[in-house]
Amino acid sequence: MTRMSTHQRAVDQIKESYAAIPGDTAPRLAKPTTNLFRFRDDGRSARLSARHLDQVIEVDPVSMTAEVQGMTTYERLVDATLPHGLMPYVVPQLKTITLGGAVTGLGIESTSFRDGLPHESVEEMEILTGDGRVVVADETGEHRDLFRAFPNSYGTLGYALRLRIKLKPVKPFVRLTHVPFGDADKCMLAMQEICERGEHDGEPVDFVDGVFFGPGELYLTIGRFSDHAPYVSDYTGMRIYYQSIRTRTRDWLTVRDYLWRWDTDWFWCSRAFGVQQPLVRSLVPRRWLRSDVYRRLVGLDRRHGLSARVDRWRGNPVHESVIQDVEVPVSRGAEFLRFFHEKVGMTPVWMCPLKAGADWPLYPLDAGRLYVNFGFWGTVPLPRGQFDGYHNRLIERAVHDLQGHKSLYSTSFYPRDEFWRFYNGDAYWPLKRAYDPGGRLLDLYEKCVRGR
């Protein structure tokens, strides 16, 4: 049996399972891992299994494309493409992000200054729509409007079952240069110049991202493919990648270790679990130093309120989770950092430049304009008299005052009319009525703001 025929059996199975779910029950895709941060009660939803839709169907090194099932993790996808000297155009930072998830929920990485977001290298998608059909959508065919609106729809128009994506050549190693800045304005100007010219110190640039450690300590990391390396660093054990940025000017990684450099410590969030302490780290098996392990620990904590109980016992103030990624024009990036440091005060903050190559209806970034993704993930104490959502609402207002947008994988607090204005309800609702006329799937506001 060919891999494509095996895929077709999996499509038939999920289609039948979807049809069997009662019409008054919201389907919810069953996933072994998730990178969403909307914790909710699933009591009113039915789990739709996609366990047979997690494989790489084919890698074609001649056309430099891959046929991939929607629930395939980027870890599995990269392991299939690297032996051919290829990688996806954009590989999101965490191993268990799925290809379908990155397309319907957006994704980003240090190639995004040139290659945009993951959906911009998708050539074709096979989608299970809200009305139970399986359609094939691409840029020019009958379902082209669905193809363009699928990014940022978060499974409210349908589920990606198969995707054909473009791949690009890689070299075995990545040479890193960490460039320090003592001023946010100068850092943003340098980022803009490097990204627009595609070079640094007269050499081509393949990767760009950065870290804000504080108002006087920022770094841009410039990556370039290399055929050779004088040495390679290993940040999958005792050594910690983000700490190295502050102490090294030059570094070398294998291409695979570069792609997953953030996963071992979930950027820097693993410190909340104590595993950055040398003694603790020496006792933790390497296979547990992964973002999906930390995410499960967070889920357990949320479910049982362990951190909140400890804070109450210690007399600490109530903390608010501030877990967000936002896109702000690079020309306003320094303004955002000043606001964020003054009003929220969380550090570090990830900085990743991106440029959309086209207009995508549900996440309306200006095509060709350079933005900076600021990622920040943690908790901060609430001021006396304030309630949960205080900092997140401040951030939402600031982002849109600065002509930016906020990703929807975490908590959101927008009023309904404001939400649809920011996320293009005029484009969304005709497609919702066309592909999910019975409203079997939650709409984007109900899912991403009300968290149902």
Q: What is the CATH number of domain 3-170?
A: 3.30.465.10
CA distance readout (Å), 329 to 52, 131, 209, 372, 400: 40, 38, 15, 6, 11
* Neighbouring residues of 197: CB distance < 8 A, sequence distance ≥ 6: none
pLDDT digits (tens, 9 = 90+) for 284-307: 999 999 998 988 887 786 776 666
Q: What is the pLDDT of residue 448?
A: 92
The tokens 């291409």 sit on which residue? Answer: 255
Apex CA 403: angle with CA 401 and CA 405, to 5°? Answer: 100
Q: Residue 65 and residue 296: Cα distance in Å, rounded?
A: 33
Q: Residue 288 and residue 404: Cα distance in Å, rounded?
A: 36
Phi, psi of 322 (to 5 degrees): -120, 95
Cis peptide before 437 (omega within 30 of 0): no
Predicted confidence (pLDDT) at residue 33 exceeds the cutoff of 70: no
Closest CA to 95 of 287, 252, 264: 264
Check if the beta carbon of residue 176 is closer than 8 Å to that of residue 223. yes
Q: Residue 376 and residue 347: Cα distance in Å, rounded?
A: 8
pLDDT digits (tens, 9 = 90+) for 35-93: 555 555 555 567 887 778 999 999 999 999 999 999 999 999 999 999 999 999 999 99
Domain parsing of the chain, residue ranges: 3-170, 173-261, 305-413
Mean pLDDT, residues 255-261: 98
Domains 3-170 and 305-413 share a fold: no
Q: Roughly what angle, to the nearest 10 degrees, separates helices 333-343 and 184-197?
A: 140
Integer-rounded Cα radius of gyration of the chain: 22
Q: What is the pLDDT of residue 307?
A: 67
Mean pLDDT, residues 208-220: 98
pLDDT digits (tens, 9 = 90+) for 305-315: 666 666 666 66
Q: Which two tokens stand for residue 153?
A: 């729809």
Residue type, 104: T
pLDDT digits (tens, 9 = 90+) for 148-189: 999 999 999 999 999 999 999 999 999 999 999 999 999 999
Q: Residue 70 and residue 290: Cα distance in Å, rounded?
A: 22
* First CA to last CA distance, the chain: 40
Residue type, 237: G
Predicted confidence (pLDDT) at residue 398 exceeds the cutoff of 60: yes
Q: Residue 161 and residue 142: Cα distance in Å, rounded?
A: 18
Predicted confidence (pLDDT) at residue 269 exceeds the cutoff of 70: yes
Looking at every residue in the chain, the average pLDDT score rounds to: 92
Out of 51-65, 115-129, 312-326, least confident range: 312-326
95 pairs with which residues across the strands? Answer: none
Q: What is the pLDDT of residue 400?
A: 95
Q: What is the pLDDT of residue 224?
A: 98
3-state secondary structure the chain: CCHHHHHHHHHHHHHHHHHHCCCCCEEEEECCCCCCCCCCCCCCEEEEECCCCCCEEEEECCCCEEEEECCCEHHHHHHHHHHHCEEECCCCCCCCCEHHHHHHHCCCCCCHHHHCCHHHHEEEEEEEECCCCEEEEECCCCCHHHHHHCCCCCCCCEEEEEEEEEEEECCCEEEEEEEEECCHHHHHHHHHHHHHHCEECCEECCEEEEEEEECCEEEEEEEEEECCCCCCCCCCCCCCHHHHCCCCCEEEEEHHHHHCCCCCCCCCHHHHHCCCCHHHHHHCCHHHCCHHHHHHHHHHHHHHCHHHHHHHHHCCCCEEEEEEEEEEEHHHHHHHHHHHHHHCCCCCEEEEEEECCCCCCCCCCCCCCEEEEEEEEEEEECCCCCCCCHHHHHHHHHHHHCCCEECCCCCCCCCHHHHHHHCCHHHHHHHHHHHCCCCCCCCHHHHHCCCC
Predicted confidence (pLDDT) at residue 260 exceeds the cutoff of 60: yes
Any idea which architecture 305-413 has in CATH? 2-Layer Sandwich (3.30)
Q: What is the pLDDT of residue 318?
A: 80
Q: How confident is the model at residue 144 (pLDDT cuts 50, 70, 90)?
A: very high
Residue type, 155: G
Predicted confidence (pLDDT) at residue 316 exceeds the cutoff of 90: no
pLDDT digits (tens, 9 = 90+) for 324-364: 999 999 999 999 999 999 999 999 999 999 999 999 999 99
Name the pTM for this structure.
0.93
With a pLDDT cut of 90, the percent of the chain lying above it is: 80
